[in-house]
Amino acid sequence: MNGMRHRSADAGAYGRRLSRRAVLRALGGAGAGLLLAACGGDGLDPFAAPSTRDTQTVAPPDPQPAQQAAEVAQEQAQQTEQTQQVEQQQAAQEMPAEPLPTPLVYITPRPTPQGHAVLIIADAPGAGSAAIAWEGEAYALLQEGERFFGFIGIDALTPPGPMPLSIGVWAPNGDQLLWQETALDIEAMAWPQDNIQIDGPNAALLAPEVRNADFEARTPYQRFATPERHWTGIFDPPNEGQITAGYGELRSFNGGPISEYHSGIDFAGPSGAPIIAPGSGIVSWSGRTERRGNGIIIDHGAGVFTGYYHLSEVLREAGDIAERGTAIGRMGSTGLATGPHLHWEVVVRGVTVNPVPWLRLLEAPDPMQELDPVNAITATNLAAT
Ligand SMILES: [Zn+2]
């Protein structure tokens, strides 16, 4: 089950008020550390030379470099803290006397259907940083203007019910402006079921080892959040073909038990049909696995990725810029495919979510959407009590 994620038993560990320092310390992972590094105000150009991007988009694939990266991340976090302390001292001298307004927090959609991306926004004029605590991890929110935002992916098979989520916002001088504990309400979806017949040599591709090898080859390249947003607005469809299979479909093969869900949507079309980037980003992986055939992954930043599989041809490599509307590959039937089609995925921090809302004007999780303060979450600000 690609990206399947069970509710963590210790999710409640964050059900308490955390200091900014504690939240930042919890950001000890490699990707999170890199994310932090840019929170220091690097002002990275999303389309800068590849050398500066590689370290941010490509996560270390095995534990040894991961540990080193965590140490580097820790150092970066300390440096960031020091830089921030200097900035805070400077800011304190220039700070107006009146207190900063209480940040307004928005979570959409609420309740959250299984298989959906969740957008968390904090409108916080004058604030210096913001983070969320989720499933035992802390993530810094990205800042654009007076708005902080971030995405969470909810797996199609996440158990329905409440899942704790906390949001913190801090002033430039480190004072906590907001600490809010809330919960996502996960709603069950009635996914359709399908049995698929796979005959001939392709049947060997159903082996769990083949599926796991594919998953392990690609997962490091669609998991960590680049601290920039490369796309704007909604995504374009990546292909002109008809959608022939939806996200979430529960699948069994050759009459066996349900073994996975369909982690994306399929577009049908002729072999060789162009596949275009639905939004701008940077290619984080291109390659081939037995199960998925030729594939490519675009990092759109902010933890949002798109993946394209069974291609006859890949037209971009890791590190390349993929501008919205430009060709990145050609439709094919490589890997486990019963005919030419594109398998298209939207991935949020390693979790495959339903791509369809990202194509729809009124449903796409646009972090810059206009929001009515009436719809802000009204709950006790624990930082003020
Ligand atoms: Zn598919």
User: Does residue 73 contact residue 34 with C-beta atoms inside 8 Å?
Assistant: yes
Q: Confidence band (pLDDT; 50, 70, 90) for 381?
A: confident
Quote the tokens at residue 70. 């965590």
Query: What does the pLDDT read at residue 201?
Result: 82
Do 216 and 163 share a structural domain? no
| Residue 203 CA to ligand 1 centre (angstroms) | 16
| Percent of the chain clearing pLDDT 90 (strictly above) | 65
Mean pLDDT for 162-184 is 95
Q: Confidence band (pLDDT; 50, 70, 90) for 259?
A: confident
| Residue 358 CA to ligand 1 centre (angstroms) | 17
Residue 81 lies in a domain: yes
Residue 317 lies in a domain: yes
Residue 3 lies in a domain: no
Query: What does the pLDDT read at residue 78?
Result: 58
| Residue 262 CA to ligand 1 centre (angstroms) | 6
Q: What is the pTM of this model?
A: 0.77
Do 31 and 66 share a structural domain? yes
| Residue 345 CA to ligand 1 centre (angstroms) | 8
| Residue 27 CA to ligand 1 centre (angstroms) | 34
Identify any residues that bridge with 285 across adjacent strands, giving them in sequence order.
297
Quote the tokens at residue 283. 């290619």
- Tens of pLDDT, residues 76-107: 655 666 666 666 666 556 655 578 899 999 99
| Residue 258 CA to ligand 1 centre (angstroms) | 16
pLDDT at 334 over 90: yes
| Residue 13 CA to ligand 1 centre (angstroms) | 37
Residue 162 lies in a domain: yes
Domain containing residue 334: CATH number: 2.70.70.10
Residue 2 lies in a domain: no
| Residue 199 CA to ligand 1 centre (angstroms) | 17
Do 251 and 183 share a structural domain? no
Do 297 and 181 share a structural domain? no
The Cα 80–Cα 78 span in angstroms is 5
Quote the tokens at residue 31. 């990707």
Do 169 and 23 share a structural domain? yes
Do 309 and 224 share a structural domain? yes
Tokens 């919890």 correspond to 26
Mean pLDDT for 329-347 is 95
User: Does residue 299 contact residue 305 with C-beta atoms inside 8 Å?
Assistant: yes
Query: What does the pLDDT read at residue 61?
Result: 42
| Residue 245 CA to ligand 1 centre (angstroms) | 7
| Residue 279 CA to ligand 1 centre (angstroms) | 20
Mean pLDDT for 196-205 is 85
Residue 320 lies in a domain: yes
pLDDT at 165 over 80: yes
The Cα 271–Cα 100 span in angstroms is 57
Residue 93 lies in a domain: yes
| Residue 307 CA to ligand 1 centre (angstroms) | 11
Q: How many domains does the chain have?
A: 2
Amino acid residing at 217:
A
Do 197 and 160 share a structural domain? no
User: Does residue 26 contact residue 36 with C-beta atoms inside 8 Å?
Assistant: no
Q: Which domain holds residue 375?
A: 11-43+50-188+366-384
Do 334 and 377 share a structural domain? no
Q: Which of 190, 109, 158, 137 is nearest to 30 (CA)?
A: 137
Q: What is the DSSP letter of 292?
A: T
pLDDT at 39 over 50: no
- The rounded mean pLDDT for the chain is 82
| Residue 250 CA to ligand 1 centre (angstroms) | 12
| Residue 334 CA to ligand 1 centre (angstroms) | 12
Do 144 and 85 share a structural domain? yes
pLDDT at 368 over 70: yes
Residue 1 lies in a domain: no
pLDDT at 374 over 70: yes
Domain containing residue 129: CATH number: 2.60.40.10
Amino acid residing at 212:
N
Q: What are phi and psi of 360, to 5 degrees?
A: -110, 130
The Cα 282–Cα 229 span in angstroms is 11
pLDDT at 297 over 90: yes
Do 349 and 284 share a structural domain? yes
Do 234 and 349 share a structural domain? yes
Nearby residues of 135 by Cβ (< 8 Å), 6 or more positions away: 5, 7, 8, 11, 163
Nearby residues of 56 by Cβ (< 8 Å), 6 or more positions away: 34, 38, 44, 226, 227
Do 250 and 179 share a structural domain? no
Quote the tokens at residue 54. 């590689």
Amino acid residing at 23:
V
Question: What is the C-alpha end-to-end distance of the chain, expressed in Å?
Answer: 43
The Cα 156–Cα 106 span in angstroms is 23
Q: Describe the crossing of helices 30-39 and 50-57 by its angle, rounded to 10 degrees.
A: 130
Query: What does the pLDDT read at residue 86?
Result: 64
| Residue 336 CA to ligand 1 centre (angstroms) | 9
The Cα 144–Cα 123 span in angstroms is 10
Mean pLDDT for 192-215 is 88
